[in-house]
Amino acid sequence: MDSNCGYVRYGRGYGRLSVAGASYGIGGTGARMGYAVVDSPFGLILTAATGRGLAWLGVHESSAYLEAELRGDYPRAEIRSGDGESARIAREIVGFVIGDTAKLEVPIEIRATPFQAAVWSELCAIPRGATLSYGEIARRIGRASASRAVGHANGSNPIAIVIPCHRAIGADGSLTGYRWGLEYKRRLLEHAGADAGRSGK
């Protein structure tokens, strides 16, 4: 992987996000990605990576569904299956989520607006086993009235789990708005030791 790419780094339960930009354009224009599917206690995980880092991650019971979603998000990219580096990254992520490893550093290559990057950074900073409401995330980035926009940014996160959008919940503590389905959101929170019915704020 390219050492100049962005990264997500976790240690002591907290994460830090660095978005260095992407070499590819909208819809994956100019991108070459390899992907792999691995099993996990909370569903199949598909990871797709460029030569610089992780670009996409989804979780579902169907590998065909995940591949279709990947190709739908990056219709202009050259995408191939059977990528060993993507499989290695996926196994590291699974090990971190289930608690086998305490630290995780994943090189990433994703596109983000400044607002998206701010929201995603706050998601990474949510401690393991905790949750925050969309409204609280909005307040933390200095946009108290933008909880709806935070929800949209949350939903547009291309690397689920690594940027833990499953830790964002409704103001009343309900599980809402997860691209991969609320059951997967519940499973991820349970594996992290979170009380899925209680907000951090």
Catalytic residues: 165
Helix, strand and coil percent figures for the chain, each rounded to 5 = 35, 25, 40
40, amino acid identity? S
Which parts of the chain fold into alpha helices (H)?
63-73, 84-97, 114-125, 134-140, 147-155, 182-191
CA 134 to chain centre: 16
Q: Do the beta carbons of residue 49 and residue 42 sit within 8 Å?
A: no
